[in-house]
Amino acid sequence: MTLTNKTAIITGGAGGIGRATVHRYVRDGAKVLVADLDLAAAQSVVNEVEADGHAGTAVAHAVDVSDFSQVEQMVQAAVDAFGGVDVIFNNAGIAGGKPLLEHDIEADYHRMIRIDQDGVYYGILAAGRQMAKQGRGGVIINTSSVYGLDAAELSFTYSAAKAAVISFTRSAAYELAEHGIRSVAITPGRVATPIINQFSDELKQTFAAEQMRGRLTDPDEIADVVAFLGSDESRVINGTVVNVEDGYSVFKQRLELPEF
């Protein structure tokens, strides 16, 4: 599998799954625009890449994905730096929530929708237009979540946004196929990102127990799948939701059952 001669945009590229994916893409031969709200953190990832011996393969770019004009500028920055866009990984997002009846509409609904839902739509649209203009196809990969498929605690708006990402993915695959552009979504489960690592050891153990291996998924393991999806070897995967949740959706918890 190779990503040689491909240019990728990775949003939320400064941490967690995004950072791991930057490193994997560069190792596999891609040029990467590391896009993040925190420019200093994005530059830090670029510095890591260069320290690993991959100078000139990554550049940092500041973007607020809830602002379409900034997303357009991000796509243009990739074109200016590397000559085009072959893959976009719409990965930036926020998490959190409160019980529905305690919602502050701006903080607990509109803000999350703007970032987790609108931000993915903007990435699909801006990158899709550039890919169609280039005329050589491309791949759009969107981060949804197991919560985009299931109801869960404190996730009323988050689940809605992640469900919309799945719908966007399928519709984009349908509409963009004539341009040779694929669209795929991933649904991570419990991943050891800064969002989850901030919680207590007890809660992290509970999260880990919800997955088949009994441990949190490493961001590098998600990056491996995203690299495959961006490669030509996955060319028949289109409009698909790829579950990267270590069996989270299969069961809720293991039970100590009596013999009978």
Closest CA to 17 of 145, 110, 114: 145
Active-site annotation holds for 252: no
pLDDT band at 260 (very low <50, low <70, confident <90, very high): low
All structural domains of the chain: 7-193+219-243 (3.40.50.720)
pLDDT band at 258 (very low <50, low <70, confident <90, very high): confident
Q: Which of 158, 159, 234, 248 is catalytic?
A: 158
49-91 tens-digit pLDDT: 999 999 999 999 999 999 999 999 999 999 999 999 999 999 9
Q: Which of 144, 145, 155, 183 is catalytic?
A: 145
Secondary structure of 20-88 in the HEC alphabet? HHHHHHHHCCCEEEEEECCHHHHHHHHHHHHHCCCCCCEEEEECCCCCHHHHHHHHHHHHHHHCCCCEE
Quick one: tokens of 145? 């979540």
Active-site annotation holds for 31: no
Q: Which of 31, 122, 162, 183 is catalytic?
A: 162
Active-site annotation holds for 158: yes
Task: Write out the DSSP string of 113-129.
Answer: IIIIIIHHHHHHHHHHH
92-141 tens-digit pLDDT: 999 988 999 999 999 999 999 999 999 999 999 999 999 999 999 999 99
